[in-house]
Amino acid sequence: MEMFDRGDFGLTSRINLRDIDSNFVIELKRTIYKEKLVVFKQQNLTPAEFVAFGKKMGVVEKYYEDMYHHKEHEEIFVSSNRHTKQEVVGVPRTGKFWHSDYAFMPSPFAFTITFPQVVPKLNRGTYFIDMAEVYEALSDDLKQQIAGSSSIHSVRKRFKIRPKDIYQPIGAILDEIDRSTPPVVHPTVVTHPITGEKILYISEGFTMGINPSENIKNPNQLLHQLLQESGQLDDTFQHPHIKLLNIEEGDLLLWDNRRFIHHAKHSGVFEPSETYRLTVYDDHEFSATNAA
């Protein structure tokens, strides 16, 4: 039996993740770097088993804001709209904007692993843009402008007000955001440490600006143009760079968080929805430092 089959987008596998050994983990990491996204079908891991699987993939990092944490397993980030007056479960409508996870932190993750628990009937999917593909397709002129430049990222626009923030002055909350997650600088073009590919590392959700340089006359206009060319300003999600991955119950997804930006597809109408997520570091720096 082949371990992986070609899916519509990325690879799929029917292997039960409860049964894997360390050789399989090595093979899986290689496959993610090469094929970018892998979906395991018909998985039924418990939350504890899901965390154990994440730990086999690398160093699991828990989300910095604890309102997202699973009650028993703080490593699991819970996106959920299953709130009742009696019980609060995770945070609703997460990631409904183009981003890569933790781009606003000094060290973003290598892998994002999601395991939907309750899949809505109407909107069962996530949009992706491969920013290595986007970089490749840029004009030589744009590539030259951004070569060697850096960009500033912050969670400021997307930080979600917590229950404890009610009746707080907005300025105090903004000050706290700037203290706990000050803006970070990443290369505008990240070099993938394993594949060597160049990745346009900007997102509508988290990138606040491109730093001016000799080659960059108008940083704001340049950022706008790059967001546009990558497809992130297309509200219809029809842009050729945008791929939609449809999700079924039992799917467990892993993707390369260096190269993909993603955008959750949440219903406009209310449907119960809940997804578990783990985020994992590999043994490599986020961006190779010998970038040309």
Instruction: Check residue 81 for interaction with ligand 7UC (CB under 6 A).
Output: no
Beta-strand pair 125-130/111-118 = unpaired
**Closer to Fe ion at the Cβ: 43 or 79?**
79
Contact 64, 179 (CB under 8 A): no
Q: Which of 42, 37, 44, 43 is nearest to 6 (CA)?
A: 37
Class of residue 219 by CB neighbours under 10 A (exposed 0-12, middle 13-18, buried 19+) = middle
277, 181 contact by CB (below 8 A): no
Report the candidate in 279, 290, 80, 284 with the shortest Cα–Cα distance to residue 191: 290
* Partner from Fe ion, ligand 7UC, none contacting 257, C-beta within 5 to 8 A by type: none
Contact between 95 and ligand 7UC (CB under 6 A)? Answer: yes
Q: Cα separation of 248 and 42, whole Å?
A: 9
Beta bridge partners of 151: 186, 210
Q: Is 147 in contact with 215 (CB distance < 8 Å)?
A: yes
For ligand 7UC, which stretch binds (CB under 6 A), given 14-22, 90-98, 225-233, 242-250?
90-98
Length of the chain: 292
Q: Does 187 bind Fe ion (CB under 5 A)?
A: no
- Pick the binder of ligand 7UC from 51, 76, 91, 242 (CB under 6 A): 91
101 is a site residue for Fe ion (CB under 5 A): yes
In 3D, which of 10, 5, 33, 8 has the Cα closest to residue 253? 10
Number of residues this chain uses to bind ligand 7UC (CB under 6 A): 8
**What residue 155 binds from Fe ion, ligand 7UC, none (CB within 5 to 8 A, per partner kind)?**
ligand 7UC
Within 158-187, the residues that bind ligand 7UC by CB under 6 A are 158, 160
- From candidates 13, 31, 94, 126, binder to ligand 7UC by CB under 6 A: 94
**130 counts as binding Fe ion under rule CB under 5 A:** no
Binding partner at 154 among Fe ion, ligand 7UC, none, C-beta below 5 to 8 Å by kind: none
Q: Which of 101, 130, 251, 282 binds ligand 7UC (CB under 6 A)?
A: 101
Give the helix, strand, coil percentages of the chain, each rounded to 5. Answer: 25, 25, 50
Please say which residue, 77 or 135, places its beta carbon nearer to Fe ion. Answer: 77
Per rule CB under 5 A, is residue 95 in the interface with Fe ion? yes
Give the residues lining the site for Fe ion (CB under 5 A).
Answer: 95, 101
What does the binding site for ligand 7UC look like in residue numbers (CB under 6 A)? Answer: 91, 94-95, 101-102, 155, 158, 160
